[in-house]
Structure 1
Amino acid sequence: MYILYVLLLIICGLILKWISDRRTFFARMSAYPEAKNTLPFLGNILENLTPTDIIPNLLKYRKECGKSFKLILGPFATYVMTTDANFIEFILTSPKLIEKSWDYEFMRNWLGNGLISAPGNIWAKHRKLITPAFHFKILEKMVEQLNSNSSILIKKLSNHVDTEIDIYPFVTLSTLDIICETSMGISFNAQEDNNSKFVVATRQILQIIENRIYSAIKQSNLLYKFTLDYWREKSVVKYLHKITNNIISERREEFKNKAETNPDVDDIGIKKRNFFLDLLLEFGLSNDEIRDEVNTVMFAGHDTTASAISFTLYLLSNNLDVQNKLYEEIASILGSDIEPTYNQFQEMKYLKNVIKESLRLYPPVMMFARDVYEDVYYNDKLIPKGARVGVFVYGLHRESEHYKNPESFIPERFELKEENRRSAFSFVPFSAGQRNCIGQRFAMLSMKSAICKIVRNFEILPVSHKKPLISYEVILKSSNGIYIKLRKRS
């Protein structure tokens, strides 16, 4: 009995110390306002329990508190969120704020130490090695694969003309095929077989990650092990890693044989291959390191791009004047050419502006954050060790200081002379600074390929009674689909 009392006293003492430490922590963050109705210790978590809650609430907190405010999501997650472009520049360029926030840990079992989730020291090494894989001459070689998959997408959509369709499932299967072919040199034919084990496993792992974000129990690594999702994740990750490992082993053997028989090197010092995996093999990374980077490209390169393409098509359906202007540009550049070339895609300036304006309104990565490992000051305001600093991209892109009539879809905002008037950190769909998206040029090229093909082949019409319900599901999506209607162009 005596031991029980001692244990009880120790537990009570630890709880009281934790409460005291939290009070001190919050006191040190007093420079930043918090939203109305913020609960002690729980903060704002009860208002943000589903994927459709977080964005409208963050916009509400921004209105109540100003550009920079405290966001408390339970007893362990406290953020300084901001839509201030100057503050964002400080966050994204500070060498003290290089580590990604705790949320990225939910991806680690699948992505390991790939560029998205890697600690700063590993990230710096891999980033330097991998950057040549996204050289424009490498991207130029991928256009054939982009075009062929976009043509399959057109074929699939041709079966659904003059009907209301949720465009997102069609696009996401196309981008999955593209990223598999360009990253690993293999096709899983997702567009032809959307119930294949690989496609289903990819959907499952993304769903499991989303479940962890919105569950206080699953956010805890200890408690997560007692949930069904934990065991589901182990099974799904084991399968996905087995697939990737097998492909790496096969390609390593092919790479070795080809290197012995075909030593030709092009003028940027890279053997004439198209695949991201082949390039990683040249860099001397281990199998696990290569697997992590390939899986990271898979994750970052298909769902985000699918979101961007789908929302762009939705915006075009509701802005026919923009769509007509875009069609005229595409028709004038391509003429009678069947497949666009890399250089023709670069000529499509209005298409680039359309995509950027869509990324402004519907950024696939609508927020991201960094962990604070030592006290940091910005404008004499303390951000204490243990906090997180978050960039609310969706809100930043709607700041009227940078964008007049911010809710309107106006691609002309991204004419060069207009862009030069704004802070470079007022538009960050691919992040910015040191840990910006390494694949942003590939993403833009993928978007151009799909949108160009669709606009060239179809008129995109609105479905006014089915407006998207914006949802944060690891990336920005619509919980009720993204509906459009297609009409075949004559």
Structure 2
Amino acid sequence: MNAPVSNSEFVPANLPNPGFDDLKHIPGMERVRFPLFRTLKFLANPLGASRSLVEAHGSVFRRQDIGRWGVSLIGADANELVLFNRDKLFSNDLGWTPILELLFPRGLMLMDFEEHRIHRKTLTVAFKTEPMRHYFAQLDDGIARGLATWARGTSFKSYPAIKALTLDLAATSFLGVPWGPEAQRINKAFCDMVAASVAVIRKPLPFTAMKRGVDGRAYMCDYFGREIPKRRGKQGDDIFTQVCNATNENGELLTNQEIIDHMNFLMMAAHDTTTSSITSMLWCLAKHPEWQDKLREEIASIRARHGALSYDNIGEMLLTEQVFKEALRLIPPVPSMPRRALKEFTFQNHVIPAGTHIGVNQMVSHRMPEHWPDPERFDPTRFSAENSRGRHKYAWVPFGGGAHMCLGQHFAYMQVKMFFFALLEGHRVIADKPLGSVESDFTMFPIPKPKDGLPVRIETI
């Protein structure tokens, strides 16, 4: 039997919080009189700002985020060091908690080491083969129902339409019930919680984004709290019911609060990051319509061989998977990942003190030409078996890596493939106006979304 290990056994009680003076030996940002303005400028174009910092200072640099000093580590080697975390140098909890503690506390992403392992193992029951088969059936019905309501031949904003669809899909596969009249309120709660994660004002003062986010969390805690007693001891194929009845290695059920925290986090991940990922892929396909034709050929081939898409043959959508991976390379759904150093360490000849806030930046590492020749070019064949051979394992990390690799990664692949199978089989997607670059068309933080909602037309072929 393994009991959860207290973070105190890994986190020094006197862990320092290094500031500018402690990090001045590392190249990077200098002090400014009004750091808030620098933060706002960064949020306006984080990809451009991050690339400028790398060009000016290299792949290890000092930065200031919302008044807090830290160090960014850029590149595949940095991703491996931090995300694989072989020597337990970094804490997820202490990296994410300053950002999410009022919104998604005690979610799986905010746990470390043995505690994380035990909770992750407990939650994996919801993503085993048989539950995934059930989710496939639920998603198949939901996607068909949702796409049937989309306008044909007239322009509409695809991002909110995709967001509404993923909320409905999350309701059926995660909760096993339709949202009903609470749909808009729940949608607003999650939107407010995610928006608050990058709010400049970090306290829930009246009329602030953080206050709206904290109120959204309170609403969702109440919602899940009311539902838990209805699921305890009951059979159900949805994720919520399985989590309510999952037991840890000691045979113990999760507490109500643990279930609430996990469900809040899982719903956010399933809803907002999937919305972003589908929208990013749609943007790429609208900008490069020749790839719609190629995916349509793959879809027709599966239809000819099998009659229908199924859980057993969805793995044959190899080209669709390559397009998805290339979209996530250009527009990762989590643009950066924070950690905190538990011990002093050295990387690329830079000594980084214990307690330092560490960030890896997928937006930039996914564009490093040593791994991605002509990195701004959209080229899904980068992810063919032949072209992937020999590439650094941590050059592409939209789902994280190591022990904290996204638990729902395969669920996301399944949902995206099913969506584009249904959308592209008899339709083409046309952008309502010329599409620009990722920097011009997307707001990247906290989760990427198109600035104009991505207006498109769906035309029947």
- TM-score normalised according to structure 2 size: 0.87
Q: Which residue of 2 aligns with 1:295?
A: 264
Distance 1:45 1:99, change over 3 A: farther
Query: Is residue 351 from structure 1 mapped to residue 320 from structure 2 by the alignment?
Result: yes
Q: Aligned to 1:73, which of 39, 62, 65?
A: 65
CA offsets, 1:211-263, max 9 Å, x none?
x2xx1xx23x5xx456645554443322211111122111115x1xx5xxxxx
Runs of 5+ consecutive residues of structure 1 not aligned to the other structure: 1-20, 259-272
Distance 1:360 1:228, change over 3 A: closer
1:425 match: secondary structure: coil
Q: Aligned to 1:136, which of 126, 129, 134?
A: 129
1:163 match: secondary structure: coil
How do 1:3-42 and structure 2 match up within 5 A? 22=19, 24-27=21-24, 30=25, 32-35=26-29, 38-40=30-32
Please tell me the residue identity of whatever aligns with 2:123. I
Q: Aligned to 2:165, which of 161, 174, 179?
A: 174
1:371 match: secondary structure: strand
Q: Are 1:83 and 1:391, in contact at CA under 8 Å, matched by a contact in 2? A: yes
Distance 1:339 1:60, change over 3 A: same
Q: Which residue of 1 aligns with 2:219?
A: 239
Distance 1:230 1:83, change over 3 A: closer
Q: Are 1:44 and 1:71, in contact at CA under 8 Å, matched by a contact in 2? A: no
Deviation at 1:26, TM superposition (A): 2.4
Q: Are 2:91 and 2:342, in contact at CA under 8 Å, matched by a contact in 1? A: no
Please tell me the residue identity of whatever aligns with 2:23. F
How do 1:38-49 and structure 2 match up within 5 A? 38-40=30-32, 46=38, 48-49=40-41
Distance 1:314 1:74, change over 3 A: closer
1:428 match: secondary structure: coil
Q: Are 1:365 and 1:429, in contact at CA under 8 Å, matched by a contact in 2? A: yes
Distance 1:229 1:352, change over 3 A: closer
Query: Is residue 122 from structure 1 mapped to residue 81 from structure 2 by the alignment?
Result: no
Deviation at 1:336, TM superposition (A): 9.1
Q: Are 1:134 and 1:439, in contact at CA under 8 Å, matched by a contact in 2? A: yes
Query: Is residue 54 from structure 1 mapped to residue 46 from structure 2 by the alignment?
Result: yes
Deviation at 1:474, TM superposition (A): 1.6
Deviation at 1:307, TM superposition (A): 0.8
How do 1:367-406 and structure 2 match up within 5 A? 367-406=336-375
Distance 1:46 1:147, change over 3 A: same
Distance 1:430 1:234, change over 3 A: closer
Which segment drifts farther, 177-186 or 201-210? 201-210
Q: Which residue of 1 aligns with 2:273?
A: 304
Deviation at 1:469, TM superposition (A): 2.4
1:401 match: secondary structure: coil
Please tell me the residue identity of whatever aligns with 2:118. K
Distance 1:304 1:183, change over 3 A: same
Distance 1:107 1:457, change over 3 A: farther
Distance 1:23 1:81, change over 3 A: closer
Distance 1:107 1:288, change over 3 A: same
Q: Are 1:184 and 1:294, in contact at CA under 8 Å, matched by a contact in 2? A: no
The whole-number CA distance in structure 2 between the counterparts of 1:143 and 1:103 is 32
Q: Which has the larger radius of gyration?
A: 1
Distance 1:233 1:154, change over 3 A: closer
The whole-number CA distance in structure 2 between the counterparts of 1:226 and 1:197 is 19
Q: Which residue of 1 aligns with 2:232?
A: 252
Q: Which residue of 2 aligns with 1:12?
A: none
Distance 1:109 1:163, change over 3 A: same
**Residue-pair matches, total:** 433
1:459 match: secondary structure: strand
The whole-number CA distance in structure 1 between the counterparts of 2:211 and 2:58 is 42
Q: Which residue of 1 aligns with 2:241?
A: 278
Q: Which residue of 2 aligns with 1:328?
A: 297
Q: Are 2:96 and 2:110, in contact at CA under 8 Å, matched by a contact in 1? A: no
The whole-number CA distance in structure 1 between the counterparts of 2:453 and 2:94 is 29
Which segment drifts farther, 45-54 or 300-309? 45-54
Q: Are 2:125 and 2:246, in contact at CA under 8 Å, matched by a contact in 1? A: no
Distance 1:104 1:446, change over 3 A: farther
Q: Are 1:367 and 1:391, in contact at CA under 8 Å, matched by a contact in 2? A: yes
Deviation at 1:137, TM superposition (A): 3.4
The whole-number CA distance in structure 2 between the counterparts of 1:457 and 1:110 is 41
Q: Aligned to 1:156, which of 149, 152, 160?
A: 149
Q: Are 1:55 and 1:471, in contact at CA under 8 Å, matched by a contact in 2? A: no
Q: Aligned to 1:201, which of 186, 189, 193?
A: 189
How do 1:398-437 and structure 2 match up within 5 A? 398-437=367-406
Deviation at 1:50, TM superposition (A): 6.3
The whole-number CA distance in structure 2 between the counterparts of 1:458 and 1:414 is 25
1:244 match: secondary structure: helix
- TM-score normalised according to structure 1 size: 0.82
Q: Which residue of 2 aligns with 1:13?
A: none
How large is the Cα RMSD of the aligned pairs? 2.5
Deviation at 1:164, TM superposition (A): 2.6
Please tell me the residue identity of whatever aligns with 2:131. I
Distance 1:41 1:97, change over 3 A: farther
Query: Is residue 459 from structure 1 mapped to residue 428 from structure 2 by the alignment?
Result: yes
The whole-number CA distance in structure 1 between the counterparts of 2:356 and 2:187 is 37
CA offsets, 1:422-466, max 9 Å, x none?
001000000111211111111111111111111113111233345
Runs of 5+ consecutive residues of structure 2 not aligned to the other structure: 1-17, 248-252
Please tell me the residue identity of whatever aligns with 1:478. P
